[in-house]
Chains A and B, each alone.
Chain A
Amino acid sequence: MISEYLDALATALNFDRALARTVRDEVEDHFRESIAADRTTDGVEAEQRAIAKFGDPHVLAGQFAVVSLAKQSRKIAVTILLVLVALFITMKTRVAWYALTQWTISEDVKPIGNIIGSIDRYAFWLSVVVGIGCWAYISGCRIPPSFDLEFRKHLRNFFFLCVASICALFVSVVSDGILTVLQLLGPEWSMKVVIPIGSMTVEIACAGVLALQVRNAVVLISPAAALTNIQERGKRP
């Protein structure tokens, strides 16, 4: 009976496997303690009582889903900041490398290079400002016990900021890619192309990690929101 309850709870929390495992272990420990403390000799009755006192697994999963959503959101915000730092370092490394090897962009593509360079700069700093705002916003949000309207509003605002920061960041990465290609259009190709190509690979990988992180969060939101709706229904008489 206990294992059926634990399975139901873990299945409901399946959108966040790590959380499902943790909760399962924690709740199992609770049940064992509760049953051991029950003075009745009938084990089945003790199990039934422990389950009844614990509450509906779907309602509980809904309460855990709110915590999971908040955790995922904070994780995305921190990832955005880390990716921005990584991009800044790779960009600066590439520029320093060009200076060190006295590798300049060819004169024919210089005008377009300047325009793309400006787009890159503005997009990157826009992404930084919005990214920091995004992190500050979600860090300051209180995690409510249930998926209330205020929390929904905060999540919506947070995702709006996230999308703005990520879009600007992608524009910056694409601009960097174009600038690197323009740089590589130069006359000679040697071992010195390793740094620009390597740094571009790092930038693309960082953007990919971020995209994956956002995708995972979006995949998590719908089942979590469905669970929180169950929680809301559970409150109604």
Chain B
Amino acid sequence: MLKGHLDLIVLAALAAGPAHGYAVIEEIRRKSGQAFDLPEGTIYPALHRLEQAGFLSSRWITVESGRRRRVYALTRLGDRALAERRAIWRQFSDAIGGLLSRARPRRKPA
């Protein structure tokens, strides 16, 4: 179920600002209260896929240790996609919430 929403999760993690893969994973972990436990490596193909789709842009920077680091950021298209997916998710969540809150046993007909 989590995999079906991976793109939304990654886009949401990048909503706060540009970040590299590890920071994205940490952000997902932090925001979800450690609830999402998917193999960390899965995030990277998702980042590449979202970049291919035009939702993310990336650039390489060099960190203090001299290592190269790829930093991803939401593009305008990605921002729009996130807003759309967020709205769809809220609608779905409200609908399920409504269904579950009304799940009381029906009275037997007289």
Footprint of B on A, CB under 8 Å? Answer: 22-23, 25-30, 32-34, 53-57, 60, 63-64, 66-67, 70-71, 74, 142-143, 145
- Cβ–Cβ contact A33 & B22, under 8 A: yes
Q: How far is the CB of B73 from chain A (nearest CB, A)?
A: 15
Question: Is B76 an interface residue, CB under 8 A from the partner?
Answer: no
A54 to B42 Cα, complex, angstroms: 8
Give which listed residue, A32, A54, A67, A145, contacts B52 with CB less than 8 A. Answer: A67
Q: How far is the CB of B71 from chain A (nearest CB, A)?
A: 10
Q: How far is the CB of A77 from chain B (nearest CB, A)?
A: 13
Residues of chain B within 8 A of A74, CB atoms compared? 52
Q: Nearest 10 pairs between A and B by C-beta?
A: A55-B39, A63-B45, A55-B41, A33-B22, A54-B41, A60-B41, A67-B48, A143-B49, A30-B22, A53-B40
- Cβ–Cβ contact A66 & B45, under 8 A: yes
Q: Chain B: interface residue count, which band?
A: 20 to 34
A23 to B52 Cα, complex, angstroms: 15
A193 to B72 Cα, complex, angstroms: 53
Main secondary structure of the interface of B (DSSP, over half): helix
- Cβ–Cβ contact A60 & B22, under 8 A: no
A69 to B108 Cα, complex, angstroms: 59
Main secondary structure of the interface of A (DSSP, over half): helix
Residues of chain A within 8 A of B85, CB atoms compared? none
Residues of chain A within 8 A of B6, CB atoms compared? 145
Question: Is B31 an interface residue, CB under 8 A from the partner?
Answer: no
Question: Is B70 an interface residue, CB under 8 A from the partner?
Answer: yes
A67 to B42 Cα, complex, angstroms: 13
- Cβ–Cβ contact B21 & A32, under 8 A: no
- Cβ–Cβ contact A60 & B68, under 8 A: no
- Cβ–Cβ contact B70 & A60, under 8 A: no
- Cβ–Cβ contact B45 & A64, under 8 A: yes
- Cβ–Cβ contact A29 & B49, under 8 A: no
